[in-house]
Amino acid sequence: MRAERKRGSAKGALGEWVRAERKRGSAKGALGEWARAERKRGSAKGALGEWVRAERKRGSAEDALGEEVRKLREYMEQNLESFEEQLFQLTNKDKIKKNEPMEKHTTFRVGGPADYFLVPERTSEIADIVQLCRGKNVPYYVIGNGSNLLVGDKGYRGVVIQIYKSMSRIRIEGDEIIAQAGASLAQTACAAMEASLTGLEFASGIPGALGGAVVMNAGAYGGEMKDVLISADVLTRDGRVKTLTVEELELGYRKSVIPEEGFIVLEVQMRLKRGKREEIQGRMEELRQKRLEKQPLEYPSAGSTFKRPEGYFAGKLIQDAGLKGFRVGGAQVSEKHSGFIVNTGGATAAEIQELIRRVTAAVKEKTGVTLEPEVRRIGEF
């Protein structure tokens, strides 16, 4: 184990150890988690096994194990303190919140605390924070408005980076809109309307920010992001800013290349068409009324819960399975639109997740169709 620590493997175990310690408060359990994590990388099975066998020969394995756990705890506590100190050096302390309840940052209005919640204002800040997290093996996750996200009740062990209002600049050049990833879709659609540019009306009522809309190729009422996108500037895993064309983004139904490549959307370039402001405004109002009539906007939700199966509509499948109004605790299949799962008040993430599971199972049993959740899930449930 000492040899492994020298090679930097204990450093990589920080996340596993902290999670285990918080769950159990047990050093013995934490070491088990560490060993399992290290075994996956092929180091613990050899190093820890050899160490224990050697100590047993000397008849001191139990004492030595306690000593190793103590040293491991000290090392990891120091590493965590070092991470926090470096984090505070990278950005203004006012932008960093510790143990921040994620229910405040998701449209479901559920979610436990994130260890660290950051709101950067510049690309360089994001790049530095991501590189620090990767270097320290601390998990991180990027969100916008939290509109398509379910965070576990026990929270998120790591860093949540929110790209939203602090990075929401929009500018218009001719028939093109260039906007930062944190700009909301509603805000961007309104800017297009004011400039008499048509093509983004479909997005005017979609909750969420542009970055997430590109990641998921968001769409509604016959339009989707790939129809208007020219390119997107992204941050790569190694900290470079790269411009991807709409073709390189590989946009499909509620998907793109971004998640699998670990990219972070920074800025989006779109091309629209000249139109009449009054007609654009009228179309946006028409879509707003449709949403009010057909969607349960009076309750917290993440929008459509499931992707549309090819050849079907998720809401109809759920309704035909007799699940309209079905609930688990405070989570309910909307009585207005069965494709929505809503928080009727006091729901937990676990209840929402269980309702998603039961709906998926019931539809599969009745129709043979497998529903795929559109909502992304992170954290500990």
Of 167, 165, 219, 171, give the one whose Cα is nearest residue 194.
171
CA dihedral 257, 263, 266, 272 (to 10 degrees): -10
| C-alpha–C-alpha distance, residues 316 and 324, integer Å | 10
Read off the tokens for 172. 């218009």
Query: Any residues with CB less than 8 A from the CB of 236 and at least 6 apart, and which?
Result: 242, 261, 262, 263
286: enclosing H helix or E strand:
helix 277-294
Among candidate residues 22, 109, 254, 277, the one labeled active-site is: 254
**DSSP 8-state assignment for residue 160:** E
Please classify residue 267 by burial: count the beta carbons closer than 10 Å to its beta carbon, then call 0-12 exposed, 13-18 middle and 19+ buried: buried
Asked about 171 being catalytic, the answer comes back as no
Q: Which of 130, 312, 311 is nearest to 238 (CA)?
A: 130
Rounded (5°) CA angle 124-128-132: 170
CA gap 87, 336 in Å, rounded: 45
CA 32 to chain centre: 28
Strand 113-118 versus strand 149-151 pairing type:
unpaired
- The reply to whether 304 belongs to the active site is yes
Q: How many other C-beta atoms lie within 10 A of the C-beta of residue 49?
A: 12
Residues in the chain: 381
Catalytic annotation on 166? no
Q: Given 304, 334, 338, 351, which residue is catalytic? A: 304
- Alpha carbons 257 and 176: distance in angstroms, whole number: 23
Helix residue spans in 176-253 (DSSP H): 185-194, 210-216
Which residues make Cβ contacts (< 8 Å) with residue 176, sequence separation at least 6? Answer: 230, 269, 270, 271, 272
Alpha-carbon span 297 to 305, nearest angstrom: 14
State the catalytic residues. 254, 304, 374
